[in-house]
Structure 1
Amino acid sequence: MSGGRSAERRSPEEPWGGLRPFSIKTKLGALVVIAVLITTGLLMIAVRTDTELRFITVFSMIATLLITQFVAHSLTAPLDEMNAVARSISHGDYTRRVRENRRDELGDLAETINVMADELEAQDRQRKELVANVSHELRTPIAALRAVLENVVDGIAAADPETMRTALRQTERLGRLVETLLDLSRLDSGVVPLRARRFEVWPYLSGALKECNMAASARPGPASAGHTRTDVHLRLDVSPPELSACADPERIHQVVANLVDNAVKHSPPHGRVTVRARRGPGPQSLELEVLDEGPGIPRSEWHRVFERFDRGSVTRPHGPGSDGGTGLGLAIARWAVDLHGGRIRVAESERGCRILVTLPGETSVQS
C-alpha cells in the first residue's frame, strides 16, 4: 500500500517439514523433552542412591516448573508488547512499533503488526493530505470567483463577456475538482461496473485527443476533457490502422485523459506528447503508450507514482498556469486499468516519461 513499508516475507518453505529451529513448536517440543530427561535422570539417581521417590518427584516438579516459567515468559512478554501496540493503534497512535527480534511465529506476527501500522499511518497521512489538498484547491477558485462577482456587484467591473469568462473558468476549475473527488469515491467503493464493447482504436483515440486540443484552445474543461496548454503538440500513432480493442470506452477515456494531462503538464515549452497503440502480447490484447519529452521520473519513484497524492520529485510543471494537481490522476488511471484486469507501469525511455498500459482483451474483461 502506499506510503507503507514493504516488508520482506519469510520463505514459506521451512526446514524440517515446516518446523523451524526457533519456532514455538520447537520450543514446546524441547520443553517436553527436557522435562522427560530431567525426570528420567532424577529417577536414575534415586535408584542408585536409594533416595526417596517423593524427593525426586518434588525436585522434578520444581525443575520442570522453572523451565516452563522461563519458556512461558519468553512467549507472553512479546504478546504483552503487541497488545500494548495494538491498543495504541486502536486509539489513533500509529507511531509505535513492535520489536522484531525473534525468529519464530511471534516474530512473524510482530512483522505483520508493524506492516499494518505502517499502512494505517500512511492512510492517515493521506487522509490529512486530502483535506489539505482539497482545502487549498477549493480556496483558490472560490476566492477568485468571489472577487469577480464582488467587483460586478459593486460596479467596479462590468458584467461583460470577458469578466463572465473569468468567472466561468473558476467555476469549471471547481467542477474539475469535484469530478476528481467523485472518481476518488468510485475508486474507494470499488463497485463501478464495466460496460465493455469492441471499438476501433484509431477513431476513438483520435477523438479523445481532439477533445483535449479543443479544451486547451478554448477554455479549461471538465477533469476528463484534458489539458489546458496550447504549446504542446499531441501526436497519435496507431498500428495497424484497423486495430480494435474490447474495453469500457468511458474508463479508457479516463486513462488516456489523465495520462495525457500528466504528460502535458510536465512537457517543456513546445514539446510533444505521443500516444501509441499496438497489439498486445496476448490474443485480443492492447498496449497503449503515452510518451512525453519532460524531465522523466527517477527510477527510485517508479513503484509509487500511481499512489494517491504522490506528485513525485518534479513538483514544478512547465507552462503557464500549470500546477502539481491533486496527485490523483495517475491513481485514477491505475484504478481504471485494474478494473479491466490490465497493467499500468512506467517503462524505460531514452527521454522523458513513458507510461505503458496493457489491456488483456475481451476474455479477461469482467462486467
Structure 2
Amino acid sequence: MKRMRTGISAKLFCAIFSTCMLVLITMHWGVRLSFEHGFIDYIKRGNEQRLMMLSEALADQYQQHGNWAFLRNNNKLVFNILRSLEQNPDANNQLPPHGWRTQFWIIDQQYHVLVGPRAPVPPEGSRRDITTDNGHVVGWVIGSPSERLTRSADINFDQQQKRTSWLIVGLSTLLAAAVTWLMSRGLLAPVKRLVDGTHRLAAGDFATRVEVGSRDELGRLGQDFNRLASSLEKNESMRRAFMADISHELRTPLAILRGELEAMQDGVRKLTPAAIGSLQAEVVTLTKLVDDLHQLSLSDEGALAYRKGNTDLVALLEVAAASFYERFNSHQLSLTLNLPESAAFFGDPDRLIQLFTNLMENSLRYTDAGGGLQISLVATPDKLLLNFDDSAPGVDDRQREQIFERFYRTEGSRNRASGGSGLGLAICQNIVDAHGGKISAQHSDLGGLQISVVLPNDKH
C-alpha cells in the first residue's frame, strides 16, 4: 500500500494551528483559574466586610435598647440595616456591588439564635464579635463557611461562565483554523511557484520564469531563480551554437582533406610536393583550431596555469612586438608603439604575452594593406590602460558587441581565408578576466577597431 506523504502546506497548517490552539487553551485555563480564584476571593471579602459592618451596627442598636428584645425574630430590621449600609457607605467601608451573600446568624451571649435560618449554626463559620463601647461582647454575627460560599458560587454563576468560555474557545478555534488556512496558502504560494518552476527547469524548460510578488527573502529567491533560469537558457543556447560552430569549423578542412586524398587515390590528382603542401596546410588549420579550442576550454575552466609575479608590461609588449615587425612589413602594415619607460604589473608574463600576441595577430589578419597598428599604454595611479588601434576595415556596432563571442567573424574582413578560428579574442577576454581587468572594443580613430584593455595598477 502506497504511503501518503504530507505536503508542506499541511505541515505548515498543522504547525500554525497547533500553536494557536496551545496558546488559546493555555489562555482559557489561565483566565478560568484566575477568574474562579479572584471571583471567589472577591465574594469572600465582600461578605466578610458586610459581617463586620453588621456587627458594628448591631452593637450601636444594642447600646440604644440595652438588650436584644428589639431584634428577636425581627429579620426585617437586620436586612434594613444591611440595605442602609449599602446605600450610604462611608469612605472607609466601600461595599462591593450587590452580589453573592452568605447565610448568617445573629446570636446573643447565651448562644441563642436571634436572627438567621433554621439550619444549625455552623461551628466553623466566620464569627464577628458584637462589642459595646465598654468592651463587653454581647453577641456574635456568624456567616456560613467559605466552602459553602464556593459551592454556592459554582452553582449560581460558575457554570454559566464555563459554558460561555467554552463557546468562545470553539469560535476562536474556527477563526484560528480559517486564518491559519489563509496564511498557509498565502505564505506557500511563492514556494509552490518556485517548486513548479524548478520541476520545469529540471525537465529542460530553460525559458521558465516565476512571478515575483514581494521583496522579502522569498522574493529575492524568486529573482535569483529567474536569473539562474536566464543563465541556463543563455548557456544552453551558447552550447548549441558552440557545438554547431565546432562541427562547421571542423567540417571544412576535413572535407578538403578528404577531397584531396580521394582525388589522389582515384588518380585525378598526382602526389606532388604542391599537393602535399596543400594537405599540410589543411592539417595546420585543423591543428590550430584544436589548439585554440583546448586553450579556450582551459581558460573557461580556470585550468590555465597562471604563475603571477612582478613584471613590466612595457618589456612584454616590446618582446611581443619584436616577433611581428617583419610580418607587418611583409603585409605592408606599420606597427607603432607609444609606451612609457616602464609599467610595473603583478601578473603572469607568459599569459600576458599570449594576450598581446593574439591582439597583434588579430590586427595583422584583418587590416588592409597600407594601414597599420598603434599600441599605446597609459599608467594612472589606479589602472593601466592599453589601446590597440588599427586602421580600416572597421566594424559596425552590432559586430562590435559580438566580437568577443566564440567563432564570431565579421562579414568580409573576418573570414576563414584569413586563417582565423574566431577564438582568439575569446581567449584574450579570459586572460584579462583572470588578471582582474576588463577588455572592450570601440571604433578606432584610425578607421578600424580599437581594443582597450584595462588592468588594475596593483604592484604587489
On whether the aligned pair clears a TM of 0.5, the verdict is yes
Pick from 207, 210, 226 the counterpart of residue 98 of structure 1: 210
One-letter code aligned to 2:388: V
Secondary structure at 1:292 match in 2: strand
Matches within 5 A, 1:245-324: 247-264=347-364, 266-268=366-368, 270-282=370-382, 286-293=384-391, 294-296=393-395, 298=397, 305-306=403-404, 308-309=405-406, 311=408, 315-318=410-413, 321-322=416-417
Superposition map of 1:215-234 within 5 A: 230=331, 233-234=333-334
Q: Provide the C-alpha distance between the structure 1 equivalents of 2:310 and 2:272, rounded to a whole number of angstroms.
A: 47
Distance 1:166 1:244, change over 3 A: farther
1:76-104 deviation line (CA, Å, top 9, x unaligned): 12212211211222222212111123333
Q: 1:53 to 1:321 in 2, by over 3 A?
A: closer
Secondary structure of the 1:194 match is coil
Could you tell me which residue of structure 1 aligns to residue 166 of structure 2? 54
Per-residue CA deviation, residues 207-257 of structure 1 (Å, 9 max, x unaligned), is: 434545666899xxxxxxxxxxx36x2423142356665542321122123
Matched, 1:194 2:311: no
Q: Compared with structure 1, are the counterparts of its residues 316 and 212 closer, same or farther at alpha carbon in structure 2 (3 Å cutoff)?
A: farther
Letter of the aligned partner of 2:165 in structure 1?
Answer: L
Greater CA deviation, 171-180 or 255-264? Answer: 255-264
1:157 aligns to 2:269 (yes or no)? yes
- Correspondence list, 1:322-333, <5 A: 322=417, 327-333=422-428
Greater relative contact order (Cα < 8 A, sep 6+): 1
Larger mean CA deviation between 188-197 and 111-120 belongs to 188-197
For residues 322 and 260 of structure 2, the distance between their equivalents in structure 1, rounded to whole angstroms, comes to 31
Letter in 2 for 1:126: M
Q: Which is higher, the Rg of structure 1 or of structure 2?
A: 2
Distance 2:353 2:384 in 1: 14
Instruction: State the distance in 1 between where 2:304 and 2:457 align.
Output: 19
Partner of 2:287: 175
After superposition, the Cα gap between the structure-2 partners of 1:259 and 1:114, relative to the gap in structure 1 and judged at 3 Å, is same
- Determine the structure 2 residue equivalent to 1:66: 178
Query: What corresponds to 1:208 in structure 2?
Result: 320
Structure 2 residue runs without a partner (length 5+): 1-15, 32-159
Whole-Å Cα distance in 2 between the matches of residues 88 and 136 of structure 1? 32
The answer for the alignment partner of 2:5 in structure 1 is: none
> Does the 8 Å contact 1:280/1:358 carry over to 2?
no
Mapped partners of 1:160, 1:315: distance in 2: 36
Separation in 2, partners of 1:97, 1:54 = 49
Q: In the alignment, what sits opposite 1:339?
A: 434
Q: What displacement does 1:117 show? A: 0.7
Change in 2 beyond 3 A, CA 1:359/1:94: same
Paired residues, what number? Answer: 306
Conserved 8 A contact 1:279-1:287: yes
**In 2 relative to 1, CA 101–322 (structure 1 residues): closer, same or farther, beyond 3 Å?**
farther
Conserved 8 A contact 1:126-1:309: no
Any gaps of 5 or more consecutive residues in structure 1?
1-27, 44-48, 219-229
Checking the alignment, whether the CA contact within 8 Å between 2:212 and 2:222 is kept in structure 1 is yes
Greater CA drift, 165-174 or 149-158 = 149-158
Tell me, in whole angstroms, the C-alpha distance in 1 between the residues paired with 2:304 and 2:231: 25
Sequence identity (%): 28
Tell me the distance in 2 between the aligned counterparts of 1:90 and 1:324.
Answer: 41
Q: CA RMSD in A?
A: 3.8
* In structure 2, C-alpha distance between the alignment counterparts of 1:267 and 1:208, rounded to whole Å: 18
CA offset at residue 140 of structure 1? Answer: 0.2
Tell me the TM-score normalized by structure 2: 0.57
- TM-score, length-scaled by structure 1: 0.69
